[in-house]
Structure 1
Amino acid sequence: MAATPNGSFRIATDLIIVAQLAEKLITAVDWVSVTSRLGNRYVTAAVGSDLAAAVDQAQYDDGAGPCLEALEADYPAFVPDIAATVTWPRFRDTAASLGLKTSLSVPLFAGSGVTFASLNLYSRRAGTLSTLTNAVWAAYDPDPFDCWNHDALDPGGRELTAGLISAVALRAMIRRAAAILSAGRMDTHRGYLILCEQAAAAGTSLTDTAALVIEQNQPHLDA
């Protein structure tokens, strides 16, 4: 999704696929959902269980919860012990009543780089999401002093982490190209729109178009 323009019809389908794969491949996870915005309200764009939808709805009703935190603040929201959290009482009570012990919500973004959804991972087993959370944090905020155990992740967790690392790198490249096309203006949104127009006109991907813009401007950037 990181290389797909935000207005693409593919986004809705991609969200469903991401949720399905996460629930199928990550053994530490029992339920998965995806929260997104629809106008000025939140909706569950993909869900593997009606029970997960109920946990999401409790957060929408309260206007607060880890899935909304990840969506609005653009960073992963980890709840290591749901029963002990005091930050989101409606989420806590609903999730705990359904037997959930821990959760992790991960920001998702498309071509513009702006977070527009959150991938919500729920588990009935305490402590099962800690390693995955460390890996996800490292993907979003790389730090040479922040170590996580690659071998402790199951194949699904490794696949998710690898995808996030790639997505963050693509976002940085697209933003760099957008900054070039915005001619130095502080607001790079216009540059992103120009990038989308160029990609559509050339029939190339957003990623390839961004790489070309950077390559063509490299002498100027290095001067």
Structure 2
Amino acid sequence: MTTTGDEVSLERVAEIARSLAGAAGLDEVLQRVADLGAQHLERCDGVSVMLVQRGGRLATPAYSTTVARDSDRAQYDTGEGPCLTSMDTQRTIVIDDLEQEDRWPRFREQALALGIRSMASFRLFLEGDTMGALNFHASTAHAFGHHDLLLGEVFASHAAVALRAAITEAGLEAALESRDRIGQAKGVIMNREGASPQQAFDRLRALSERQNRPLRDVADQIARTGEIPVLEPTRKQRRGT
């Protein structure tokens, strides 16, 4: 039996929903949002999650590549860009070819230097309340077609629900402060070991489990000291089984 494009799309949506529902806590949800987005949009090279904090301050607590992270930073630095516009206008913003784009000239220059040619930014919101933006980047022009944009809209909706559900009683501000430390610790691991964002997060999670300590405490230690603890082998690994 031949699988149609619509059936494949439905399977992807179901897979995204299941994966986000299975994430434990805000840290896990944020990283899964970034990684799943990069996996499911075929020509996507990187995803970033931009969130609005108290007082309107913006942060990028999760990203799948450093290019995606640096693209967000370029928008913070210049005060312009598609992700900011998506949140301001409450609509999806698509850039087919950044070399032909005349909006946001200061951001455009920095983004091209990062190797970005296409972008799609989806507002993260629930009941009209904007939480931030989900941003997809590609190194090729015209990377995102109609099908990709439809999938991106659905994915952003699932992501917004999962993020809202994962915010603890401490509130988004406190959660993002913790996430900032995790981001710093990931940066240390990525720079020292040449790891990807997902590999760095997996290393933090393994250290947390092996040391029986909260992931945030492990991240805080690495961020403060710049030292990465040795990942001791498990008993099973020591026995060679």
Query: TM-score per shorter chain, which class?
Result: 0.5 to 0.7
Per the TM alignment, residue 15 of structure 1 is displaced from its structure 2 partner at its CA by: 3.0
* Alpha-carbon spacing, 1:132–1:57, altered in 2? closer, same or farther (3 Å): farther
Q: How does 1:1-223 map to 2 (within 5 A)?
A: 10=25, 13-39=28-54, 40-110=56-126, 112-132=127-147, 134-135=149-150, 157=151, 160-163=152-155
Q: Distance in 1 between matches of 2:66 and 2:149?
A: 28
- The 8 Å contact of residues 83 and 101 in structure 1, kept in 2 or not, is answered as yes
Q: Distance in 2 between matches of 1:123 and 1:45?
A: 20
Q: Distance in 1 between matches of 2:66 and 2:156?
A: 26
* Alpha-carbon spacing, 1:81–1:70, altered in 2? closer, same or farther (3 Å): same
SS of 1:35's equivalent in the other structure is strand
Q: Distance in 2 between matches of 1:166 and 1:21?
A: 11
* Alpha-carbon spacing, 1:163–1:102, altered in 2? closer, same or farther (3 Å): closer
- The 8 Å contact of residues 104 and 133 in structure 1, kept in 2 or not, is answered as no
Gaps of 5+ in 2: 1-23, 162-241
Q: Distance in 1 between matches of 2:71 and 2:158?
A: 30
* Alpha-carbon spacing, 1:134–1:51, altered in 2? closer, same or farther (3 Å): closer
State the number of aligned residues. 138
Structure 1 residue identity aligned to 2:100: A
Per the TM alignment, residue 95 of structure 1 is displaced from its structure 2 partner at its CA by: 1.4
Gaps of 5+ in 1: 1-8, 136-156, 171-223
Q: TM-score, normalised by structure 2?
A: 0.50
CA-to-partner distance for each residue in 1:123-156, whole Å, 9 max, x for gaps?
0111121324652xxxxxxxxxxxxxxxxxxxxx
Structure 1 residue identity aligned to 2:140: R
SS of 2:61's equivalent in the other structure is strand
CA-to-partner distance for each residue in 1:101-136, whole Å, 9 max, x for gaps?
1100011124x441211110000111121324652x
Q: TM-score, normalised by structure 1?
A: 0.54
- The 8 Å contact of residues 67 and 77 in structure 1, kept in 2 or not, is answered as yes
CA-to-partner distance for each residue in 1:39-74, whole Å, 9 max, x for gaps?
232111211112211111111111111111112221
Q: Distance in 1 between matches of 2:94 and 2:52?
A: 20
